[in-house]
């Protein structure tokens, strides 16, 4: 049984604030003062662990921004040459590679060695707190923290928790939840903190300005956002119907960079090249969009067609974007479907089955070609608003780190 705190700290009370324009309002800049640099070299206040997916990685970046705004030094330990390493670099967060392997019997020896590596890192950096944001990527550092007797906090982004976070909650000081309904899956103390938008997505962007960043005109725009390997059916659908879709829509397409994709950016560029020039000018495709461009796309598009990963669902819910969410059919325990359906109460989100795209359901294509805007219900989004979530996480960090 869990002891759940729904509102763990009075808003803003006891929290040290920096001046306006700090890293909560923009991407965090690296700590610059000589005293801080010395502190980072010798000790770390907060060590982040986790990654692998957009949700786990975005959560780490958001928690880092809040911690740094409070004046704490932050570092991140996870896989080398990974998405989380890229995000840490984008946000000026010190990063140290630690090997990680899926928790399978055949990997037992390698997992054990990676825990030893993580424990050595923790002994060098002497963090006062470790925050694990999920997936098997965070396990070596979380176990290293346990062995070194460093307090551990787990942050869960999904409604149906993963096995790594539920297991690690046994050893955690507390578990921070994005969705209060997930509390029963965890051991020990849970705190409903929510999941704030990453700082770069909190910046307003006028539609015309946002579209101009993609070289597009101020016209009805569809934002297509896949994930990793899960982007394949969305990419293939767009490739098959690109000429048709570019009639009513201009399209911003984040196609993913996974080596497992068949319908890659190269394939999509080839499909674009086969179109008349007037249509080619209406299609922007890229493997990866940084936060600034995701913000511009979400705020400028009339409709978003996307997977339903934890981070993206949170961003759609926070921004009130009109969206067709297509849950990845192989997500663990159907977590993407559960997350997507949480947002349907607002009336601004509808959920389609992946099979409708794979099998070219004519009704779905007709809906996209003759899109009728969804009707808001007036029901508030179930996600915790960013300002409130920031204060909740800041309150817990202050309580744990002093």
Residues of the chain with confidence (pLDDT) below 70: 1-42
What's the pLDDT at 4?
47
Q: Cβ of 256: how many Cβ atoms within 10 Å?
A: 24
SS3 176: strand
What's the pLDDT at 13?
31
Phi then psi dihedrals of residue 78, to 5 deg: -165, -160
What's the pLDDT at 42?
61
- DSSP H helices in 309-385: 310-319, 335-342, 354-358, 362-369
Q: Does pTM top 0.95 for this prediction?
A: no
CA dist., res. 74 & res. 43, Å (int): 10
Domains and CATH numbers, the chain: 2-195+385-401 (3.40.50.2000), 205-369 (3.40.50.2000)
Nearest to 193 by CA among 314, 331, 28: 314
CA dist., res. 311 & res. 25, Å (int): 19
| C-beta separation of 226 from 260 below 8 A | no
- Token code pair at residue 99: 């090997």
Give the burial string for 146-176 (b: 16+ CB within 10 Å, else e): bebebbbbbbbbbbbbbebbbbbbebbebbb
What's the pLDDT at 32?
39
What's the pLDDT at 345?
97
What's the pLDDT at 318?
96
Average pLDDT, the chain: 89
What's the pLDDT at 9?
41
| Sequence-ordered strand ranges (E) for 124-237 | 129-132, 152-156, 174-177, 188-192, 221-225
CA dist., res. 62 & res. 28, Å (int): 9
């Amino acid at each position: 049984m869990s002891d759940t705190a729904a509102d763990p700290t009075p808003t803003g009370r006891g929290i040290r604030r920096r001046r306006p324009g700090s890293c909560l309002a923009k991407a965090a800049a690296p700590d610059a003062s000589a005293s801080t640099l010395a502190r980072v070299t010798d000790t770390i206040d907060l060590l982040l662990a986790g990654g692998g997916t957009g949700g786990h990685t975005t959560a780490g970046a958001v928690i880092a921004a809040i911690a740094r705004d409070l004046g704490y030094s932050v570092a991140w330990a996870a896989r080398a040459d990974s998405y989380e390493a890229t995000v840490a670099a984008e946000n000026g967060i010190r990063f140290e590679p630690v090997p990680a392997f899926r928790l399978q019997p055949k990997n037992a020896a390698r997992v054990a060695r990676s825990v030893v590596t993580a424990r050595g890192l923790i002994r060098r950096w002497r963090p006062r707190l470790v925050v694990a944001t999920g997936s098997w990527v965070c396990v070596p550092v979380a176990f290293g923290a346990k062995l070194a007797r460093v307090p551990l906090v787990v942050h869960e982004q999904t409604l149906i928790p993963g096995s790594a976070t539920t297991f690690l909650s046994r050893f955690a000081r507390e578990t921070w939840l994005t969705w209060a309904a997930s509390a029963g899956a965890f051991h020990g103390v849970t705190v409903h903190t929510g999941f704030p938008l990453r700082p770069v997505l909190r910046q307003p962007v006028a539609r015309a300005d946002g579209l101009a960043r993609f070289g597009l005109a101020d016209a009805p725009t569809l934002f297509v956002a896949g994930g990793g390997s899960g982007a394949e059916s969305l990419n293939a659908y767009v490739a098959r119907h690109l000429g048709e879709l570019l009639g009513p829509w201009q399209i911003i397409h984040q196609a993913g960079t996974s080596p497992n994709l068949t319908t890659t950016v190269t394939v999509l560029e080839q499909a674009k090249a086969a179109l008349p020039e007037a249509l080619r000018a209406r299609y922007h495709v890229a493997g990866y969009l940084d936060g600034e461009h995701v913000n511009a796309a979400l705020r400028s598009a009339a409709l978003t067609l996307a997977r339903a990963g934890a981070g993206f669902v949170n961003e759609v819910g926070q921004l009130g974007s009109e969206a067709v969410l297509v849950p990845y059919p192989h997500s663990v325990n159907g977590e993407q479907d559960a997350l997507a359906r949480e947002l349907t109460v607002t009336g601004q989100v509808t959920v389609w089955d992946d099979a409708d795209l794979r099998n070219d359901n004519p009704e779905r294509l007709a809906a996209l070609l003759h899109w009728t805007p969804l009707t808001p219900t007036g029901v508030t989004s179930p996600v915790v608003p960013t300002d409130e979530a920031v204060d909740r996480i800041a309150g817990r960090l202050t309580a744990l780190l002093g």
